[in-house]
Amino acid sequence: MTTALPDSIRHRFPLLEQSVYLNSCSQGALSVDVRQAYEQYLKDWDEKGAPWDLWVERAESARGRVARLLNADPDEVAITTSVSAGVSALLSGLRPAGSRSKIVMSDFEFPTIGQIMHAQELLGVKVEHVPAGPDVTVSLERMAEAIDEETALVAITHVCFRNGSKTDVKEVIRLAHEAGVPVLLDSFQAVGAVPIDVRDLDVDFLAGGILKYLLGSAGLAFLYCRSDHLPNITPTQTGWFADENIFDMDISDYSPSPTARKFESGTPPIPNIYAGIAGMDLMHEVGIDRTEAHVAGLTVQLLEGLDRIGATVVTPRDPEKRGPMIAVATTDEWAMVNALAEDGVLTNPRDGNLRLSWHCYNSAEDVERTVSALERHGDLLAR
């Protein structure tokens, strides 16, 4: 692509003709590419009946695209229906016990991670939360204090879904690895908007999904497992697509795949795989590096506008400590969301804050229109 973002791609998102879309942290805007992918799925189904050879190949194509996205090997990637499914399968195989029976997690985790980790308490696992530091980021000092000889796993989020705070992932991984502890990184609020290289991070496990900044639809996610861990993990939460040979159809044996497919389950979400491939291909065409730089410029412009109208920003000001989403304090989060929607600005709330998430298709004009709308509804801003 030779023209500058976002002008070169906005025409592929019909919604943008009528709205300012700032809800990519929940769901990416629908592109014509993804719509056409769903139509192709229906065409294949209609014309071929039940083409499972084709559909299994589509799932493998999705695996290859996720691997390219993360700089991973395809055998290190499981294609799942959700982060919940992938992480639950992983934890069923890790089975923390004995002298290492503690899980350390940040207070910024999405409910999926928190609930799965606390579910392990039924098996005797202890879960320790690390609170945020005064700069509204994961406290490295408190994380270092929590990781000890009893720790079996550290779970952190890349970008907090509540306030857009970005974790110093490399430093947390370094602290954990010095103590001999693996790290699970939830990248859902980052992948597609922030470049991710699992080799550079040296992360052990990474989970994410396609429906946000990767522009796919709900029902498709992934789990990365570094290859050296694969021989040592045998999930008990499983399904027939996790088997070493799915077409053996053997009901008398459990022979999980030696690859990360062991974390998969039953029938893959084929329609969502078509859509996910289209979304990932679109983001590959746009470029995640370009997207990150573009969004960084928009958020600087946004913060200047928010300061001008006296809004309270909850997200860290340091560019290195924030992701693609800026959170603004409100007196009534849903009243603000509804008021902005009437002005054609589509947003989403969390924890009393308004979440404004920016992507490759957003423009400088979107920023000014958003700031003007917030100023009109200034009575709903927490000062």
Q: What is the pLDDT of residues 258-293, one digit of tens each?
A: 999 999 999 999 999 999 999 999 999 999 999 999
Dihedral pair phi/psi, residue 28, rounded to 5°: -65, 155
pLDDT digits (tens, 9 = 90+) for 131-159: 988 889 999 999 999 999 999 999 999 99
pLDDT digits (tens, 9 = 90+) for 156-205: 999 999 999 999 999 999 999 999 999 999 999 999 999 999 999 999 99
Q: Do 314 and 196 reside in the same domain of the chain?
A: no
Final residue in a domain of this structure, among 252, 283, 314: 283
**Number of domains observed in the structure of the chain:** 2
pLDDT digits (tens, 9 = 90+) for 219-246: 999 999 999 999 999 999 999 999 998 8
pLDDT at 1 (0 to 100):
35
DSSP letter assigned to residue 132: B
The type of residue at 217 is S
Task: Please name the residues in contact with 302: beta carbons below 8 A apart, sequence gap of 6 or more.
Answer: 326, 356, 358, 367, 370, 371
CA distance 172 to 181: 11
In terms of residue numbers, what domain contains 79? 35-283
pTM confidence score? 0.96
What sections of the chain are H helices per DSSP? Answer: 32-48, 52-70, 83-94, 111-119, 140-146, 169-178, 198-201, 270-286, 288-308, 333-342, 364-376
Q: Do 279 and 293 reside in the same domain of the chain?
A: no
Q: Identify whether 29 is part of a domain.
A: no
Q: Do 168 and 233 reside in the same domain of the chain?
A: yes
Mean pLDDT of the residues in the chain: 96
Q: For strand 345-346 and strand 151-157, is the pairing parallel, antiparallel, or unpaired?
A: unpaired
Whole-number Cα distances in Å, 317 to 126, 181, 312, 313, 314: 34, 31, 11, 8, 9
pLDDT at 363 (0 to 100):
97
Paired tokens of 258: 């030696």
Q: Do 296 and 273 reside in the same domain of the chain?
A: no
CATH number at residue 325: 3.90.1150.10
Q: What is the dihedral of CA 109, 214, 72, 184, to 10 degrees?
A: 10
pLDDT at 2 (0 to 100):
36
Please, which pLDDT band fits residue 247 given cuts at 50, 70 and 90?
Answer: confident
Final residue in a domain of this structure, among 245, 265, 283: 283
Q: Do 102 and 198 reside in the same domain of the chain?
A: yes
